[in-house]
Homo-oligomer: A and B are copies of this chain.
Amino acid sequence: MARPETITSASNPLLKDIRRAVVRGGLTQEGWCVASTFHLLEEALRSDCEVKVLLAAESVRSAAEGHVKGLGRIKVVVVPDALLDGLSGTETTQGVIALVKPPAWRLEQLFRGTALVVVLDGLQDPGNCGTIVRAGEAFGVTGIFFLRGTASPYNPKTLRASAGSLFRVPFLDGVDTALVRAALQQNRVELYAGVPARSGVRSLAQIDLTGKCGLVIGNEARGVGGDLRSAALDVAIPTVGVESLNAAVAAGIMLYEARRQRALRPV
Contacts and interface: CB of A to CB of B under 8 A. Distances in A.
Interface in A239-255: 239-246, 248-250, 252-253
A80 B257 CA distance: 49
Interface in A220-267: 237-246, 248-250, 252-253, 256-257, 259-260, 263
A198 B206 CA distance: 29
Total copies of this chain within the assembly: 2
A237 B257 CA distance: 11
Nearest to A249: B252
Interface in A144-175: 161, 163, 165, 168
A12 interface: no
A135 B256 contact: no
Contact of A140 (B139, B240, B244, B253): B240
18 contacts: A90-B90, A131-B246, A131-B248, A131-B249, A134-B246, A138-B245, A139-B240, A140-B241, A163-B244, A163-B246, A165-B241, A165-B242, A238-B259, A238-B263, A246-B248, A248-B248, A249-B249, A256-B256
